[in-house]
């Protein structure tokens, strides 16, 4: 019986996790401790505990940390249930250690009115991740007509975004109007006209592979325009899907000038660059596209220097039929909720490029702060919003081992090390 199965079967209403490595970026704690969890609440944290009647679990070598926070991801339901349902999305989140999900509004129908938000929230199930929604900025997320933002802001949304490019004129109007709503707003900077039919970042590798490239300025030109709007209007914004070295430079300069911005990068852009696309795997067709090696290095450094604030999943499920086409013809996007933690741990924490505290800061603490949410606490009396992670457990990525309904990932069929054992929501 695997460790995952044995713990899932034996963890109960009162559990004593013995000698677990406790990681908490909020308190900068990285210690081996005993922790007692009873009825969904943290009851005690000590170097050694003896709790009568508690089920004792030997957790040496395991990591206990705050639940991960998803800044933005796509749901198939409603409209594309063959890709992902809300139930399968929640199952994938639990399997990946996420205790909070934040859904993008590009469902069909779009999340552009309070009734649609209420319908999603009604699907929330006990012991599942907290389900939040980004409200759309424009009707149908089409970038044409602004939604009734004031009405939508009362529906319990996480904030506003289309997760699609907006014209400069509409962007300025949205920011002017949104100042009074006191809600997070997130924008993706992309000039579709400059991007054209590109599928990789423009450069020598895209030419060698014979795939159309997207110039860096397709991201940086609209980013510069947005930063000018922020400087003029003064409204805090979140910058989504940063993917180029030049963007990191622009954001760094803007932060140094005191602009109220935060920024996130997709997890896959930290792990891979255009050189991975020589396999022509359609799951490597992303939007924004995979960058050049210098872009990837700058994104990693941007996190380490604080220019970038958080790592986003941007989970984008597609059916087998949709992705089983040529690279350039496939829809852009890949799943990630179940893969983020083990892959980033092995790529950055295991070789000591990052500390475990760094990883949890960028996957849990800072995403919550970008959403203006109180982060999960590891403290006596706090609700247990936790993930138990085994960095050594090995498993193979397959449609059978994934909880997501879709399997569009370049790691399909590959063996991974590191897996979530238990998630408390």
> What are the residue numbers of the active site?
314
* Burial tier of 226 (Cβ tally within 10 Å: 0-12, 13-18, 19+): buried
DSSP 355-376: -HHHHHIIIIIHHHHHTT-PPP
> Could you identify the residue written with the tokens 């705050």?
66
The DSSP H or E segment spanning 194 is helix 192-195
On whether the CB atoms of residues 133 and 103 are closer than 8 A, the answer is yes
* Number of C-beta neighbours around residue 85 at 10 A: 19
- The CA distance from 380 to 81, in Å, is 40
Q: What is the largest CA-CA distance in the chain?
A: 66
CB-based contacts of 325: which residues, under 8 Å, 6+ apart?
282
The DSSP H or E segment spanning 141 is none
Vertex 17 angle, CA 12 and 19, to 5°: 165
* Number of C-beta neighbours around residue 400 at 10 A: 7
Q: Rg for the chain (alpha carbons), in Å? A: 21
The DSSP H or E segment spanning 31 is strand 29-38
Q: Considering Cα of 173, then 176, then 181, then 187, what sign does the dihedral take?
A: positive
Vertex 365 angle, CA 383 and 287, to 5°: 125
DSSP 50-88: --TTPEEEE-TT-EEEEPEE-S-B---TTT-TTT--HHH
Reference 380, options 49, 46, 29, 25; nearest CA is 46
């Amino acid at each position: 019986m695997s460790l995952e199965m044995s713990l899932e079967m034996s963890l109960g209403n009162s559990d004593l996790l013995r000698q677990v490595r406790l990681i908490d970026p909020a308190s900068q704690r990285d210690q081996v401790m005993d922790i007692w969890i009873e009825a969904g609440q943290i009851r005690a944290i000590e170097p050694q505990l003896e709790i009568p009647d508690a089920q004792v679990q030997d957790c040496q070598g395991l990591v206990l940390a705050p639940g991960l926070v998803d800044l933005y991801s796509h749901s198939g339901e409603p409209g594309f249930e063959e890709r992902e349902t809300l139930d399968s999305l929640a199952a994938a989140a639990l399997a990946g250690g996420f205790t909070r999900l934040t859904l993008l509004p590009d469902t069909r129908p779009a999340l552009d009115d309070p009734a649609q938000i209420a319908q999603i929230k009604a699907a929330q199930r006990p012991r599942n991740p907290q389900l939040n929604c980004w409200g759309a900025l424009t009707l149908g997320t089409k970038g044409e007509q602004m939604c009734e933002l004031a009405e939508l802001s009362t529906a319990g949304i996480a904030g506003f975004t289309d997760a699609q490019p907006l014209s400069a004129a509409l962007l300025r109007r949205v920011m002017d109007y949104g100042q009074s709503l006191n809600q997070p707003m997130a924008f993706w900077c992309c000039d579709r006209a400059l991007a054209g039919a590109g599928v990789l970042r423009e450069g020598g590798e895209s030419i060698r592979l014979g795939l159309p490239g997207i110039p860096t300025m397709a991201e940086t030109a609209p980013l510069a325009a947005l930063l000018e709007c922020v400087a003029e209007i003064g409204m805090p914004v979140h910058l989504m899907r940063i993917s180029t070295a030049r963007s990191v430079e622009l954001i760094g300069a803007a932060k140094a000038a005191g602009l109220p911005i935060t920024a996130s990068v997709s997890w896959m852009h930290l792990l891979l660059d255009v050189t991975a696309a020589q396999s022509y795997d359609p799951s490597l067709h992303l939007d924004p596209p995979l960058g050049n090696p210098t872009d990837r290095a700058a994104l990693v450094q941007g996190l380490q220097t604080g220019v970038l604030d958080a790592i986003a999943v941007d989970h984008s499920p597609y059916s087998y039929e949709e992705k089983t086409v040529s690279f350039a013809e496939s829809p852009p996007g890949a799943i990630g909720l179940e893969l983020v933690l083990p892959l980033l741990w092995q790529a950055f924490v295991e070789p000591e490029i990052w500390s475990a505290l760094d990883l949890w800061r960028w996957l849990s603490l800072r995403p919550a702060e970008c959403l203006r949410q109180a982060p999960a606490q590891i403290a006596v009396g706090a609700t247990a919003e936790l993930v138990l992670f085994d960095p050594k457990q090995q498993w193979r990525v397959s449609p059978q081992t994934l909880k997501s309904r879709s399997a569009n990932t370049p790691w399909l069929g590959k063996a991974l090390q590191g897996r979530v054992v238990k998630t408390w929501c």
